[in-house]
Structure 1
Amino acid sequence: MAYNLLKGKRGIITGALDENSIAWKVAEKAHEEGATFVLTNAPIAMRMGEIKVLAEKTGSEIIPADATNVDDLTNLFTKSQEVLGGKIDFVLHSIGMSVNIRKKIPYTESNYDYFMKGIDVSAMSLHKMLSVARKLDAINEWGSVVALTYMAAQRTYPFYTDMADIKAMLESIARSFGYHYGVEKKVRINTVSQSPTKTTAGSGIKGFGDFFDFANAIAPLGNADAESCANYCVTLFSDLTKMVTMQNLFHDGGYSSTGISMDVMERLGVEEQS
């Protein structure tokens, strides 16, 4: 059921690779809620994905951009305003990549060139996007920027390796830039810390399947899926959350607030104490 939460709003959605990705679901939901937007991804990711299908489904134009390249981002924000007919109201940052994880390099033996590449792609890209948008005055007052993150930024998950540090930097950028953009233009910037989600990217992490089941057993509501995350992002794009900024918002079925569950203790053979 749609509520026209984004009627008349214009946006930029990054990172939609295939129908399993959260960004793909966000695009579908934003379209249902009345938004118009452009889709963007790095050229290499676009060749691997199915973004053209999503563009046709939502009536959107695709503007390729390397999120680490300021010139590409300048073109993205400039052309998006031309295509959409005005300033931008919302941006989804759904960009993450770790070469160390792809190459199965342990955290304690991280390749630092790969590490820096991950920082540039997955965290610094948010700063570059916001900096370009600010210089171009491309985002309307009370606009909303949402970046996707994960709780490994706060707690240790050994299998998440250097992405944990990178996500911590992403969240810090959202807070720091959120202050300046909020004071100047009332633009709000938040991160959404999502449950383990069965996406193409997430499933590539070693041990993901076991951890997905563990988190699902811990969270009182179970893991939040990609579609429910998309719904949450849409509320953050809407005018209903105009005073929410500089926050890291957990969307994880209560996992982040739960120490242990009876389900997990039973699996471990722990008897309940009276």
Structure 2
Amino acid sequence: MSNNLLKGKRGIVFGALNDMSIAWKVAERAVEEGASITLTNTELAIRMGTIDELSKKLNAEVIPADATSVEDLEKVFAKSQEILGGKIDFVLHSIGMSPNVRKKRTYDDLDYDLLSKTLDISAVSFHKMIQVAKKMDAISEGGSILALSYVAAQRTLFGYNDMADAKAMLESIARSFGYIYGREKGVRINTISQSPTMTTAGSGIKGFDGLVDFSNRMSPLGNASASECADYCIVMFSDLTKKVTMQNLFHDGGFSSMGMSLRAMTQYNKSFENDFKDENGNIIYG
């Protein structure tokens, strides 16, 4: 159901790949709420994914670009303003990839050249994107910029690897640039720390299925879906959140505030039932 929260607004969505992508869901909801948007991803991602399908559905032009390239980003903002007929009101950065994770390098055996690529793709690209937009004066007064993060920026989660470092950097960029852009242009910059979500990128992380299940058991509201994340993004793009900036906003069903839940503890105890019982069948705790 549309509430016209983004009626008349112009936006750019970075990172939609296929219908599993959070960025894909955000693009759909943005248009449903009255926005006009452009889509952008790398040429390889466009060939591998189904973004053309989304483009046709939403009547949104796709602009091929490498988000780590300042020149490409300049083209994205220039062409988007030309296509949409004015300055941009909101931007979503939904970009993340770790070559170390893909090559199954553990955190204590990272390839540092690959680490540089992880940071450049997943975090520094956010800084480049904002810096380009600011220098071009491409964002409207009071505009909203969002990036997608994860709780591994604050807590160690097995298998998340150097992406945790990238997310920590991403959140720091939002704070540092949020102060400058907010002070000078009233533009707000935030990150949304989403539940583990079964996307093409997320599925490459070691033990991801277990992480999704654990988070769901720990969270009083359960994991937030990609569609629910899209709803939250729309609110953050809208005029309802004009004074929210420099924040890392947890959208994880309460996971980030939990220590142990009944569901998680119950499952944990079950794992000992066959191995640690006394002669009377009682569970023995070490």
Structure 1 position 185 matched with structure 2 position 185: yes
C-alpha separation in 1, matches of 2:61 and 2:269 = 54
C-alpha separation in 2, matches of 1:121 and 1:268 = 37
**5 Å matches for 1:28-107?**
28-107=28-107
2:120 aligns with 120
Aligned AA (2:260): I
Aligned AA (1:157): L
2:277 aligns with none
C-alpha separation in 2, matches of 1:117 and 1:267 = 38
Q: CA deviation at 1:268?
A: 2.1
Q: CA deviation at 1:158?
A: 2.4
Could you list the per-position Cα deviations for residues 217-239 of structure 1 after superposition, in whole angstroms to 9, with x for gaps in the alignment? 00000000000000000000000
C-alpha separation in 1, matches of 2:160 and 2:170 = 15
Query: What is the Cα-based RMSD across aligned positions, in Å?
Result: 0.9
1:19 aligns with 19
Q: Secondary structure at the match of 1:253?
A: coil
2:273 aligns with none
Q: Secondary structure at the match of 1:259?
A: coil
The two structures have a TM-score, normalised by structure 1, of 0.98
1:243 aligns with 243
Choose 1 or 2 for highest CA Rg.
2
C-alpha separation in 2, matches of 1:104 and 1:262 = 33
1:210 aligns with 210
Q: Secondary structure at the match of 1:27?
A: helix
Q: CA deviation at 1:206?
A: 1.1
Could you list the per-position Cα deviations for residues 176-230 of structure 1 after superposition, in whole angstroms to 9, with x for gaps in the alignment? 0000000110000000000010111111111000111110000000000000000
C-alpha separation in 1, matches of 2:51 and 2:87 = 23
In structure 2, the gaps of 5 or more residues are: 271-282
C-alpha separation in 2, matches of 1:65 and 1:211 = 32
C-alpha separation in 1, matches of 2:69 and 2:28 = 27
Instruction: Tell me the matched-pair count.
Output: 271
Q: Secondary structure at the match of 1:268?
A: helix
Aligned AA (1:167): K
In structure 1, the gaps of 5 or more residues are: none
Identity, % of aligned positions:
65
The two structures have a TM-score, normalised by structure 2, of 0.94
Could you list the per-position Cα deviations for residues 125-175 of structure 1 after superposition, in whole angstroms to 9, with x for gaps in the alignment? 011011110111000000000000000000001200000001100000000
1:5 aligns with 5
C-alpha separation in 1, matches of 2:109 and 2:209 = 24
C-alpha separation in 1, matches of 2:120 and 2:33 = 32
C-alpha separation in 2, matches of 1:208 and 1:120 = 23
Aligned AA (2:155): R
Kindly report structure 1 stretches of 4+ aligned residues shifted beyond 4 Å: none
Could you list the per-position Cα deviations for residues 71-105 of structure 1 after superposition, in whole angstroms to 9, with x for gaps in the alignment? 10001100100000000000000000100000000
